[in-house]
Amino acid sequence: MAKYKEQLQAMGFGYDDVTSVAYRKINDIAFIVRVNTASKEYNVTAACRPAKDGMIDHLRTALHQFASQRQNMLKTAFFEGKQIHICYQISSDITSGVNDSVNFIMYCVNQFECVSCCSICGKFDAVDVYSVESNVSALCTGCYGTLQNNIAKNILADSSTKTNYPMGILGAILGGLVGAVVWILFSLMGYIGYIAGFISGFGGIIGFKWLGKKMSTGGIVISIIISFVFLFLAMYLAVGIDLYNQFEAEGLIEMYGLTFKDVLDFIPNAIQLDSKYAGTVVYNNIFGVITFIFSVVLCAVGLRSEGKVKNRSMKLT
Ligand SMILES: [Zn+2]
């Protein structure tokens, strides 16, 4: 991503790190470039449309021809009513593709008398590129004002909702319980609990957010602790069930009249006395613990980046 940022900046584009979007105004036309490494493509959009409706068909034909001349790298080029879109297949250097798109769009602007317009309401007006929450778009001041009002309302609504800790904790317990049940079921079926570890990690945090209404740093910590307690209990129970079955097969349960609780109490001794058994227990549980940690980190990072764009609104150009 960083190299595309550098390439775009070298071409005179501004770059918004939070949304990873590049923007630039050329002769009042607002350009936005989005690089999508996951789908291996990048999009160049320009907020403008022909001043005369009679030119729209000509513009569409020109874009169609442009696309068919560059079949190998260009994916699509079209006009949707308020913006011209050109989508290229990604390469290690996107400079020539972006230049090609920008030049062609500027040619269209001249040829088909396109005028800058708002990408929401379509009004012919001076537009700027704004970032509102996680969306970056070319807007007129009217549309930006409306979006800003919505954000102001959200902030008000947000500050009036408080984290409900008792309910959040209940949610985390329910989520942790689901993870624990899945863990035990998986272990009974003889699987190592990769997925169960995942569910345990997500379960607590999702449960907290679900019933606690609002996530907080404290909520994340509480959820992780609760989830881990349940995961630990589930591991312990699963080992107990395994050991009980083993003892039963060896006839020890009947011989000594052992209960399930006796077996559970015996686990620490079994682990201490038999290093080979301890190794098996570690092997059966370590992967679940790793996926648990992984999912917890993923959740925390997700919530953090959600917080970054939440209620964010700013003018980029
Ligand atoms: Zn507008």
pLDDT tens digits, 165-222? 999 999 999 999 999 999 899 888 877 777 888 888 889 999 999 999 888 888 999 9
* pLDDT lower than 70: segments of the chain: none
pLDDT for the residue 157? 82
Residue carrying the six token digits 């020890």: 252
pLDDT for the residue 261? 94
Residue carrying the six token digits 């260009």: 74
DSSP 296: H
Q: How many angstroms is it from 6 CA to the middle of ligand 1?
A: 31
Q: How many angstroms is it from 144 CA to the middle of ligand 1?
A: 7
Cα–Cα dist 115/28, whole Å: 9
Q: Which residues surround ligand 1, an ion (CB under 5 A)?
A: 118, 120-121, 140, 143
Q: How many angstroms is it from 138 CA to the middle of ligand 1?
A: 9
> Start-end ranges of CATH 3.30.1460.10 in the chain?
2-156
How would CATH label the architecture of 2-156?
2-Layer Sandwich (3.30)
pLDDT for the residue 146? 94
Q: What's the whole-model pTM score?
A: 0.69
Cα–Cα dist 222/89, whole Å: 45
